[in-house]
Homo-oligomer: A and B are copies of this chain.
Amino acid sequence: MKFSIDRSKFVNQTTNVQRAISTKTTIPILTGMKLELTESGLRITGSNSDISITSFIAQDDADNDLTIESTGSIVLPARFFNEIIKKLPGDNFELEVLNNNQTLITSGVSEFTINGLDANNYPHLPEVETDNQLIFPTDLFKEVVNQTVIAVSNQESRPVLTGVNFIINNDGLTLVATDSHRLSQRKIDITSDEEYNLIIPGKSLTELVRTINDSVKEISLSISENQVLFSFDNVMFYSRLLDGRYPETDRLIPEDSNTRLTFDTSNLLASVERASLLSHESRNNVIKLEIKSVDKKATLYGNSPEVGTVEEVLDFENLEGDDLDISFNPDYLKDALRSFGSNTTIEMSFTSPLHPFTLRPVDDKDNFVQLITPVRTF
């Protein structure tokens, strides 16, 4: 195996692939990056137990300046290989596999000889049929993932809750995530010949969204029994699926309400951020919202016995219904508010101090809801 290539084009691809590679893996070869050179181009692969990413640099794209002297494959220590390539002096570099998987990398005045591993020992990538693909505009896909993934659980005690539930049927695509204290649900229109109910790990989705750069217009989703494959540009991103049955969440979302508050997300977010400065210092990170319907007044209270107290008079657009005192974790409210984007008008609906309350965008109430469970403080 011997080739030379444009260094910056190569680095762009290894940066993507690197996301799948962990230094903490118990399988030594997975700390490496696999390079496979065929007559058509160079495939670069990284993998861990959850995700695998592969990127292809085509020989027939002149921008890549890929000159192939002999084909072959090698696995190189990913972290070093990346750092070395980033710091090489030339615009191009040459890579040649010598005896015993020793790999010579030369560029300008620099010459590195790196100990590689036999690519035959690298695990095979999962096989996912790509006949039946769902296509999403990238912006929309990123938006709905970011809006729901905030609510996944970090606790491994109920593994299914660490993922986002993708439900694909006649209604379109519904994404749901919940850590049992809060829930996020978002629906979008898509058409699919098949029905699916998948649980994709939250961490995979977070890495996926980071990997998709702004120039990508569309992303394709292919589904197999225990894997999904997201394809875009020259990148293929595989994620395992979570086993198990995702809980029915529809019945958790209250249909009626006794108190409703409408406001602009940015104003409320600033107030919650200030109130949480103190609540973060107290043992039970909680702030209280007090609604006085007759006075048309809504106030947030935070306190820390050590530091002091804070009172925020809220600036809302509309308030109707019963008086209410309700306490909750301000960080859940901050995450929920950020998910709507700045300067969006939101309706917050409450039934009682001990029942979950919801936040919905006023102009799209049916398709997006954030739910938060209050905290009992008495």
Partner of A277, one of B80, B115, B312: B80
Q: How far is the CB of A196 from chain B (nearest CB, A)?
A: 44
* Neighbouring B residues of A87 by C-beta, 8 Å: 270, 273-274, 277
Q: How far is the CB of A268 from chain B (nearest CB, A)?
A: 11
Q: Is A243 an interface residue (CB 8 A)?
A: no
Chain B, residue nearest A281 (CB)? B80
* Neighbouring B residues of A236 by C-beta, 8 Å: none
Q: Produce 1/0 per residue, A89-103, CB < 8 A to B.
A: 100000000000011
- The distance in angstroms between the C-alpha atoms of A89 and B275, with both chains bound, is 12
A310 near B273: Cβ-Cβ < 8 Å: no
Q: Is A113 an interface residue (CB 8 A)?
A: yes
Q: Is A77 an interface residue (CB 8 A)?
A: yes
Q: Is A110 an interface residue (CB 8 A)?
A: yes
CB within 8 Å of B: which of A64-97? Answer: 77, 80, 83-84, 87-89
Q: How far is the CB of A350 from chain B (nearest CB, A)?
A: 21
A310 near B111: Cβ-Cβ < 8 Å: yes
Q: Is A309 an interface residue (CB 8 A)?
A: yes
B274 near A308: Cβ-Cβ < 8 Å: no
Q: How far is the CB of A203 from chain B (nearest CB, A)?
A: 28
Q: Is A306 an interface residue (CB 8 A)?
A: yes
Q: Is A339 an interface residue (CB 8 A)?
A: no
Chain B, residue nearest A270 (CB)? B89
* Neighbouring B residues of A118 by C-beta, 8 Å: none
Q: Is A114 an interface residue (CB 8 A)?
A: yes
How many chain copies does the complex carry? 2
Q: Produce 1/0 per residue, A109-130, CB < 8 A to B.
A: 1111111000000000000000
B109 near A313: Cβ-Cβ < 8 Å: yes
A309 near B113: Cβ-Cβ < 8 Å: yes
CB within 8 Å of B: which of A298-336? Answer: 306-315
* Neighbouring B residues of A83 by C-beta, 8 Å: 277
Tell me whether A109 and B308 are in contact in the complex, defined as CB-CB below 8 angstroms, given that A84-B277, A87-B277, A277-B84 are known contacts. Answer: no
Chain B, residue nearest A299 (CB)? B109
Q: How far is the CB of A275 from chain B (nearest CB, A)?
A: 9
Q: How far is the CB of A90 from chain B (nearest CB, A)?
A: 11
B88 near A274: Cβ-Cβ < 8 Å: yes
Chain B, residue nearest A303 (CB)? B113
Q: Is A271 an interface residue (CB 8 A)?
A: yes
Most interface-central of A277, A306, A307, A310 (chain B CB within 10 A): A307
A109 near B310: Cβ-Cβ < 8 Å: no
* Neighbouring B residues of A103 by C-beta, 8 Å: 308
Chain B, residue nearest A116 (CB)? B308
7 A-B contacts, Cβ less than 8 Å apart? A87-B270, A87-B273, A89-B274, A103-B308, A111-B310, A111-B312, A115-B308
Chain A interfacial positions (CB closer than 8 Å to B): 77, 80, 83-84, 87-89, 102-103, 109-115, 270-271, 273-274, 277-278, 281, 306-315
Q: What are the 5 tightest A-B residue pairs by CB atom distance, in nearest-first order?
A: A114-B308, A109-B313, A111-B311, A112-B310, A113-B309
